[in-house]
């Protein structure tokens, strides 16, 4: 169905994940996956971190952040990182809380990316050698959210 005039300006801007320890999550998303922290918004009881892959000539700023696509928002509710009773968030891939599945990134070379993740000690949910789909992998972020790793050219 073609987009209508009413929906012509709609974009998928971002998705949000709650995180227990923002420092561990920021390290994972910036150093392991190569995303850029584009903005940070601090409030009394929570902090929002907005990350993206910066590929264009224009940097993402607080002013233009909502005009682009492909943003990952990490929400940290203050205190979770040091609360021994905090059990973590549901990743969406196990009961209770099944629903959300994963985020996905594409890479030029899945084998090389997975070898790099291995060398960095990243946890895998599914390695390239597991299951029937030998061209995709799933890694886990510090909170147990799944990140699918796909080749840039992929036919379903």
Known catalytic residue at 148: yes
Is residue 155 predicted with pLDDT exceeding 80? no
% of the chain surpassing 90 pLDDT: 79
Cis-peptide into 96, omega within 30 deg: yes
Q: Tokens 């990182």: give the residue.
A: 81
Is 116 strand, coil or helix?
helix
Among candidate residues 6, 54, 81, 148, the one labeled active-site is 148
Task: Give the confidence band of 61 by pLDDT, cuts at 50, 70, 90.
Answer: confident
Instruction: Calculate the CA 101 to chain-centre distance.
Output: 11
Question: DSSP H helical segments within the chain, as ranges?
Answer: 22-27, 110-119
R_g of the chain computed on alpha carbons: 17
Q: What is the pLDDT of residues 71-120, one digit of tens each?
A: 999 999 999 999 999 988 999 998 888 899 999 999 999 999 999 999 99
The pLDDT assigned to 59 comes to 87
The pLDDT assigned to 13 comes to 95
Using alpha carbons, select from 22, 31, 13 the residue that is nearest to residue 75.
Answer: 22
Contacts of 97 (CB under 8 A, 6+ apart): 90, 91
More confident of the two residues 155 and 79 = 79
Is there a contact between 31 and 142 (Cβ–Cβ < 8 Å)?
no
In the structure encoding, which two tokens stand for residue 39, read together?
């903005």
Out of 24-33, 52-61, 115-124, least confident range:
52-61
Is 73 strand, coil or helix?
strand
């Amino acid at each position: 169905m073609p987009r209508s005039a009413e929906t012509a300006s709609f974009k998928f801007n971002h998705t949000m994940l709650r995180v227990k320890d923002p420092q561990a999550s920021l390290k994972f998303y910036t150093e392991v996956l190569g995303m850029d922290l584009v903005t940070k918004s601090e409030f009394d009881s929570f902090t929002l971190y907005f990350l993206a892959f910066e590929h264009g000539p224009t940097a993402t700023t607080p002013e233009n952040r909502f005009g682009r696509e492909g943003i990952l928002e990490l929400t940290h509710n203050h205190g979770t990182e040091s609360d021994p009773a905090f059990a973590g968030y549901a990743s969406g891939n196990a009961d209770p809380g099944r629903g959300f599945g994963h985020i996905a990134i594409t890479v030029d070379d899945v084998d090389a990316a997975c070898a790099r993740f291995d060398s960095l000690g990243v946890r895998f949910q599914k390695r390239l050698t597991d299951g029937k789909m030998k061209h995709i992998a799933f890694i886990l972020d510090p909170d147990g959210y799944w990140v699918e790793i796909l080749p840039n050219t992929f036919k379903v």
